[in-house]
Amino acid sequence: MAESHQASPQRPRLVICVEDEPEMIELVKLILSRKGFEVIGAVGGRSGLELIEQKKPDLVLLDLMMPDMDGWEVYQQMKAHEHLRNIPVIVVTAKAQSIDKVLGLHIAKVDDYITKPFGPQELLDSVNKVLGL
């Protein structure tokens, strides 16, 4: 009987954190790896999108404000690819960003969003909610 390529329950959930600040990636890695997640960081939208295409993670944490390709563009590109469209996305926004951005999140149907600075529990709650854990 052919072995299915379904992930075993033991496999850690893979989260890709797309962010232009390496310190933020390290913080997310620290918080989530303690809870058994595998976290891969990508600095900037372009490398983030490439990594998402290669790895097809369980979840993407996506910063909106990035210099090379912003989070919206990454999000739209993901939704345009059939094999990436169902990957859940949590958008990370700066507190100061306008309400238009947040309203846009609801219209764009992102899975959740958190604002910086966020606490470890806030991040974990959002990840667990989106992944249905």
- The pLDDT of residue 130: 96
pTM, whole model, 2 decimals? Answer: 0.86
Cβ proximity of 23 and 45 under 8 Å: no
Q: What tens-digit pLDDT sequence spans the chain (133 residues)?
A: 444 444 445 789 999 999 999 999 999 999 999 999 999 999 999 999 999 999 999 999 999 888 888 898 999 999 999 999 999 999 988 766 555 666 666 666 788 888 888 999 999 999 999 999 9
Distance CA(113)–CA(119), nearest Å, equals 13
Element (H, E) at 90: strand 89-94
Domains of the chain as residue ranges with CATH:
14-112 (3.40.50.2300)
- The pLDDT of residue 107: 63
